């Protein structure tokens, strides 16, 4: 009986980890592979939530990281992340994947 309960709990836990595809006709999920070329338009713009969200969409990334001068950042490369480099005035100076 205990084994069956453990197995059932494991099955329910694993089922919770599955993803469902987006509904037909709805917004498409990002591909997850960053392509920085799609957001070159943002260079020179002031950084804000709307611009970062559009950069995410235009690059196909799942995650965005805004990097300010002197800010510490990990050096790991993630193909699903776009880095938005910003100067001390809050203007975007670069868009790159990683």
pLDDT in tens, the chain (98 residues): 665 554 455 554 544 443 334 444 434 455 689 999 999 999 999 999 999 999 999 999 999 999 999 999 999 999 999 999 999 999 999 999 99
What's the rounded Cα separation, in Å, for the pair 84 and 40? Answer: 11
What's the rounded Cα separation, in Å, for the pair 95 and 51? Answer: 12
Model confidence, pTM: 0.67
Decide if 31 contacts 40 (C-beta within 8 A): no
Work out the burial of residue 10: count CB atoms within 10 Å of its CB; fewer than 13 is exposed, 13-18 middle, 19 or more buried.
exposed
User: CB count, 10 Å around CB of 58?
Assistant: 19
Work out the burial of residue 91: count CB atoms within 10 Å of its CB; fewer than 13 is exposed, 13-18 middle, 19 or more buried.
middle
Per CATH, the homologous superfamily of domain 31-98 is Trypsin Inhibitor V, subunit A (3.30.10.10)
């Amino acid at each position: 009986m205990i084994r069956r309960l453990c197995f059932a709990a494991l099955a329910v836990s694993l089922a919770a980890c599955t993803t469902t595809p987006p509904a037909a006709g709805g917004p498409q999920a990002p591909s997850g592979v960053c392509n920085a070329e799609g957001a070159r338009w943002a260079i020179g713009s002031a950084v804000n939530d709307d611009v970062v969200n559009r950069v995410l969409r235009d690059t196909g990334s799942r995650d965005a990281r805004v990097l300010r001068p002197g800010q510490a950042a990990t050096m790991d490369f993630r193909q699903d992340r776009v880095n938005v480099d910003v100067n001390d005035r809050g203007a975007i100076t670069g868009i790159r994947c990683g």
